[in-house]
Structure 1
Amino acid sequence: MTDSTPRIGIVVTDAYAADDPDHDTPILLAALETRGAPAEAVVWHSTADLAPYDLLVLRSPWDYPDRPDEFQAWLDRAESATRVVNSPALVRWNLDKQYLRDLEFAGIRAVPTQYGRTAADVLAALSAWTDRRVVVKPAVSAGARDTGLFDAADPAALRLAERIIAGGGVAMIQPEVTELSAGGEKALYSIEGRHTHAIAKGALLEAGGGLIGGVYVEHPEPVETTEAERAFAAEVMDAVCATTGQAMPLYARIDIVDSAEFGLVVLEVELIEPALNLHVAPHATDAVVDAILRAAVH
């Protein structure tokens, strides 16, 4: 390392579930070392001095939904100390899934969503989808926490929404997308606005509430995408930039499903800490490392 070598921190947390490890960070650390720019993992909620870093790259602070105020304070501290990617402004916007409203306003198709702040809101939303199944989830969450698939008339759907609201959150109510329940979701990855790869992780939700198998386990597999899907993902990213006034993010995961009922729709845009799944898409590693190195000398 020379004096001109940027000091890069890869932002992680200090513990991961045994069935949900951080595959990306070891791959990125090794690739950056090979490129002559050794980096180090930085636990986001540690007391580490952040000023010596030329760049902090958010990768796997996956426990932030359990400590949101602390994470917001860390973003403030990190932003005042050095450059952070994705930008804290973009991260703050992306923390609450009500950003989907912004994207719809910008012309992006999304799954129809109603937001419940009271039990009355939730009852009205559930009554709009009588005789079918719905997904209930919090507007601020990750890893399918407090997310369930229910018959709209199932009292468990209302109970979950009420628990979310009682905890100070907003409940999202969406109609079931049958193609999604069948595992048809695709996660398209964008590095500096360029498509690099796509992953399918299969269905996660068990009808009646809970997760298939009782635990959150992804089974990522590379999947092909159509020209229409890639074009739609690019439209989503353009809308993100136009809506937030931010530059194209270094990394993004755009979750989509092509449905008979609603067409090609966006489910989520993950700009905070998406698993890049480089262990099953190693060809994307160079693109990510190139982007990090460009950001480090920006």
Structure 2
Amino acid sequence: MKVVLASCAALPEGDGDEDALIEALRSDGVDVAWQPWGADVRADLVVLRATWDYTDRLDEFLAWCDRVPALANPVSVVRWNTDKSYLVELASRGVAVVPTSVVEPGAEPVFPDGEFVVKPAIGAGSRGAARFTGHAAARAHFEALGVKALVQPYQSSVDAHGETALVFFAGEYSHSFHKGPMLAQGLAESESGLYVEEKLGGIEPTARQRELADRVLDVAAELLSLRRADFLYARVDVVEGPDGEPLLLELELTEPTLGFKHTGQEAASRLAKAIQAAAVRG
């Protein structure tokens, strides 16, 4: 069995988070290798991992995904998930989502009272995301982005509690990790320039966070006419809302960091088994 982990030219072998996964796959006798996306690839399964430069070449990236015979997650999922407007769809189905408005280029944005966030609808690694209280500065940022953007009220709980990322493999819960505030002052970009350096650590989610994450995956699968098990991997990022209840910040189904550095080896083994099962199904 041959498995390819798709990366990008700037990080041809990822950022090191998948080291435990590679070890688990090789211990099961799987031939696994990294390959930057873009070129033709032959494998029983291609798993999108560190493809973090696609945001500037989305059409090219999606065209490449279309050519890959066996891709995880599937290209239909990638097309839907690379545009964060999916948050509005999920909210329309009753999912508790951080309030989100979508602003097209050239449109006049409507900003909420208080502190808020403006970020590209198609983006990765928190690049282009910024916090504002002043409307003039936010409008200038939106115009400088020049792309479809999201406007969201900033959840002040993030400053104290950060985000909780819940990770699922083949639709089943695996583990969680904590993410510090991503829009705090003083955070640096990675050497590759593809993402903002995150402060991560292990954490146990609350029962309400688990309930929300399960709801998110159920609704996403329904929207895409899939089963939850069709998501080889999923990461559900939640924050605490003003009333203390969890809210969905992002559903990552394309290329999320999975936090293997912050959990036990058994998590990597779970994904390795799911990858092998998916490769057999083709």
TM-based fold match above 0.5: yes
Q: 2:29, 2:178 → 1: CA distance?
A: 33
Instruction: Provide the C-alpha distance between the structure 2 equivalents of 1:163 and 1:191, rounded to a whole number of angstroms.
Output: 38
Residues 1:160 and 2:141 aligned together? yes
Which residue is 2:186 aligned to?
212
Equivalents in 1 of 2:161, 2:16: separation in Å?
A: 22
The answer to whether the 8 A contact 1:90-1:246 is kept is no
Which residue is 1:16 aligned to? 11
Check the 8 A contact 1:111/1:262 in 2, yes or no. no
Tell me if 1:242 matches 2:232: no
What is residue 3 of structure 1 aligned with on the other side? none
Matched with 1:98 is 85
Partner SS for 1:256: strand
Two-structure CA RMSD over aligned residues (Å): 1.9
Q: What secondary structure, in the 3-state scheme, does the structure 2 residue paired with 1:101 have? A: helix
Give a deviation string over 1:36-60, Cα, whole Å, max 9, x none: 1121112112x3x32x311111111
Name the CA distance, whole Å, in 1 between partners of 2:106 and 2:200. Answer: 36
Structure 1 residues 282-293: aligned runs within 5 Å? 282=264, 283-293=266-276
What is the rounded CA distance, in whole Å, between the counterparts of 2:36 and 2:66 in structure 1?
A: 16
Tell me the alpha carbon deviations over residues 163-185 of structure 1, each in whole angstroms, 9 at most, x when there is no partner: 22x3xx21211111111233431
Query: What is the deviation of 1:118?
Result: 4.8
Following superposition of structure 1 onto structure 2, how do residues 195-210 of structure 1 map, counting pairs within 5 Å? 195-206=173-184
Q: How does 1:4-153 map onto structure 2 within 5 Å?
A: 6-16=1-11, 22-45=15-38, 47=39, 49-50=40-41, 52-78=42-68, 82-118=69-105, 120-122=107-109, 125-126=110-111, 129-130=112-113, 132-153=114-135
Query: Quick one: percent identity of the two aligned structures?
Result: 34
Which protein shows a greater Rg?
1
Q: Displacement of 1:297 after TM fit?
A: 0.6
SS for the counterpart of 1:273 is coil
Q: Residues 204 and 212 of structure 1 are in contact (CA less than 8 Å); yes or no, is this contact kept in structure 2?
A: no
**In 1, Cα distance between the equivalents of 2:35 and 2:71?**
12
Q: Which amino acid aligns with 1:14?
A: A
Structure 1 runs (4+) deviating above 6 angstroms are none
Letter of the 1:159 partner, please give it: A
Write the deviation string for residues 172-203 of structure 1: whole angstroms up to 9, x where unpaired. 11111111233431111011111111111201
* Distance in 2 separating the partners of 1:267 and 1:53: 34
Does the aligned pair in 1 maintain the 2:18–2:260 contact within 8 Å? Answer: no
Letter in 1 for 2:166: L
How far the C-alpha of 1:119 sits from its partner, in A, is 5.2
Secondary structure of 1:213's counterpart equals coil
Q: Aligned in 2, Cα 1:117/1:197: closer, same or farther, shift over 3 Å?
A: same
TM-score scaled by length of structure 1: 0.86
User: Secondary structure at the residue paired with 1:121?
Assistant: coil
Matches within 5 A, 1:259-274: 259-261=241-243, 263-274=245-256
Measure how far apart 1:27 and its partner are: 2.4
Q: Is the 8 A contact 1:115 1:121 kept in 2?
A: no
CA–CA separation in structure 1 for the residues paired with 2:263 and 2:80: 28
Gaps of 5+ in 2: 190-195
CA contact (8 A) 1:8 1:55 kept: yes
User: What code does the residue aligned with 2:27 have?
Assistant: T
Query: Secondary structure of the equivalent of 2:126?
Result: coil
SS in 2 for 1:162: helix
Report the equivalent of 2:149: 171
TM (norm. structure 2) is 0.91
User: Amino acid of the residue matched to residue 30 of structure 1?
Assistant: E
Kept in 2: contact 1:10–1:42 (CA 8 A)? yes
For the residues of structure 2 that align with 1:63 and 1:113, how far apart are their CA atoms?
24
Say which SS state the counterpart of residue 297 (structure 1) adopts. helix
Contact 2:157-2:240 within 8 A present in 1 as well: yes
